[in-house]
Amino acid sequence: MPFSTLPNFGLNRGGLPLRLGVLRLIAVLATLATFAQWIVPVVARGIFNAGRIYYSNEPSKLYESLLPWPVLSVPAWLTITTGLLAIGCACAYLLLGGLEISSDISFMFFAPSLAGVFPIFIAAFEKDPTGVIRTPGPDGYPIGWHWVVAPFILVLLVATLVATARMRRLRAERRRRRAQHVTPG
């Protein structure tokens, strides 16, 4: 079974109703936006802050920092918004879809779940004096509130399990109808 048979960047009008195509596209784009909130600062800090990406990292001894640290701080509200949007749209897609999403269930669990995992790494970029979670180790520091998205992966998991169970039931029902239609009598 393929990871997904649908193109990621489009409404997939040929295979999905419009509302499902919109939900899928928003989930994919919000997941990419959440991932970009991690990768763009990592690259920028690697280049402009002499390789010092996280607060606990030391600057490189090979070259000086070009700009004051930190370059590109990511606000928690942005990460929380994009992460919840990705997970929420994926849940709605999984719960509203019928047989047309059967080959897409694993993709729509895996991809948006990254929007719940990456906020943990984004939260650790810098110290946040209001943070309630600390990085591990004796030099641990409180991290930002970006991580709030992570527990919502459980909601996505439940939606995935419900969609999977519904697909089994719908496929069995379709096979039963075909068997009744083919059987004479």
Give first-to-last CA distance, the chain, whole Å.
Answer: 35
The pLDDT of residue 14 is: 73
How much is the average pLDDT of 57-61? 80
Determine the structural domain holding residue 106 and report its residue range. 18-52+68-133+142-182
Average of per-residue pLDDT values in the chain: 88
The candidate with the shortest Cα–Cα distance to 120, out of 181, 37, 4, is: 37
Is there a domain that residue 8 lies in? no
How much is the average pLDDT of 32-41? 96
Is there a domain that residue 9 lies in? no
The candidate with the shortest Cα–Cα distance to 78, out of 28, 129, 37, is: 37
Burial of 120 (0-12, 13-18, 19+ CB in 10 A): middle
How much is the average pLDDT of 21-36? 95
The band of 100, judged by pLDDT with boundaries at 50, 70 and 90, is: confident
Q: Dump pLDDT digits (tens) for 64-85.
A: 888 888 888 999 999 999 999 9
What are the residues whose beta carbons fall under 8 Å from the beta carbon of 97, sequence distance 6 or more? Answer: 16, 20, 104, 163
Whether residue 163 is predicted with pLDDT greater than 90 in this model: the reply is yes
Is there a domain that residue 158 lies in? yes
Total count of residues recorded for the chain: 185
Is there a domain that residue 7 lies in? no
Is there a domain that residue 13 lies in? no
The pLDDT of residue 28 is: 94
Domain count, the chain: 1
Is there a domain that residue 1 lies in? no
How much is the average pLDDT of 73-101? 94
Is there a domain that residue 115 lies in? yes
- Residues 94 and 160: beta-carbon distance below 8 Å: yes
Please work out, in degrees rounded to the nearest 5, the angle formed at the alpha carbon of residue 2 by the alpha carbons of 159 and 14: 80
Is there a domain that residue 96 lies in? yes
How much is the average pLDDT of 165-173? 88
